């Protein structure tokens, strides 16, 4: 099976339009990565190569941008992706127990996906911005704080 990546015809057209708004191809790196992630769900190594070629930049430049922005992901995620806040307030208020419970409840480790493809989870180092509700998590666009096992059960049940 060949592993390659390219924008769909529609995205290729869209990207040509986007390029017109930027002074250089390189400057369109972020929209290119956003489009790749929206199209594929995550950014595989083949997409890094494709974008480097598209923008005429060394692949290492694409990788640097990817490693800088946490909004880009390089691994497949579940339909619902859970981010556990790993920052200080949440850590002090039990994010470790939240992580242990997610591992037990979902049966997969951080960065992995459940067999049915519904869930994946990770710990994020940056504060989720509601420390007063620590420990916090984000699932898709939804935030939940003051986490308990019951709240986590509910979050998972509602999305199963
Ligand atoms: S430290 Fe977790 S929300 Fe701020």
Structure tokens that stand for 68 in this block: 């800088």
More confident residue, 141 or 28: 28
Class of CATH domain 80-158: alpha beta
Average pLDDT of 82-94? 96
Average pLDDT of 4-11? 95
Average pLDDT of 40-65? 95
- Ligand 1: which of 82, 84, 87, 96 to mutate, judged by most atoms within 8 Å of the beta carbon? 87
Atom of ligand 1 nearest to the CA of 133: 3
Atom of ligand 1 nearest to the CA of 130: 3
Q: What is the pLDDT of residue 23?
A: 95
pLDDT digits (tens, 9 = 90+) for 120-138: 999 998 899 999 999 999 9
89 within 8 A of 131, measured Cβ to Cβ: yes
CA of 91 to the centre of ligand 1 (A): 8
Alpha helices in the chain (DSSP H): 9-19, 29-40, 45-55, 59-68, 88-92, 95-106, 149-158
State yes or no: pLDDT of 41 exceeds 60. yes
Atom of ligand 1 nearest to the CA of 145: 3
Atom of ligand 1 nearest to the CA of 85: 2
Per the DSSP assignment, residues forming a β-bridge with 137 are 84, 144
Q: What is the pLDDT of residue 3?
A: 61
Whether domain 9-68 has CATH 3.40.50.2300: the reply is no
Query: Angle, nearest 10°, between helix axes 149-158 and 95-106?
Result: 40
How many CB atoms sit inside 10 A of residue 52's CB? 18
Going across the sheet that includes 119-124, the strands are 119-124, 80-85, 137-139, 142-144
Indicate the domain borders of the chain.
9-68, 80-158
123 within 8 A of 86, measured Cβ to Cβ: yes
Query: What percentage of the chain carries pLDDT values higher than 90?
Result: 83
CA of 26 to the centre of ligand 1 (A): 34
> pTM for this structure?
0.70
Query: Angle, nearest 10°, between helix axes 45-55 and 59-68?
Result: 120
Residues with CB under 6 A from ligand 1: 85, 87-90, 127-131, 134, 136
Per the DSSP assignment, residues forming a β-bridge with 142 are 139
């Amino acid at each position: 099976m060949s592993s390659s990546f390219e924008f769909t015809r529609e995205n290729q057209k869209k990207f040509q339009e986007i390029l017109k708004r930027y002074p250089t191809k390189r400057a369109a790196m972020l929209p290119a990565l956003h489009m790749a992630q929206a199209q594929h769900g995550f950014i595989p190594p083949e997409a890094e190569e494709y974008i480097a070629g598209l923008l005429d930049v060394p692949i290492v430049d694409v990788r640097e941008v990817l490693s800088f922005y946490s909004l880009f992901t390089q691994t497949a995620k579940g339909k619902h992706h859970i981010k556990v806040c790993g920052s200080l307030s949440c850590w002090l208020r039990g994010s470790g127990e939240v992580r242990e419970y997610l591992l037990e409840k979902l049966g997969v480790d951080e960065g992995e996906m459940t067999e049915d493809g519904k869930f994946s989870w990770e710990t994020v180092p940056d504060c989720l911005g509601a420390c007063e509700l620590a420990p916090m998590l984000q699932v898709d666009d939804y935030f939940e704080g003051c986490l308990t096992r019951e709240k986590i059960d509910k979050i998972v049940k509602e999305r199963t």
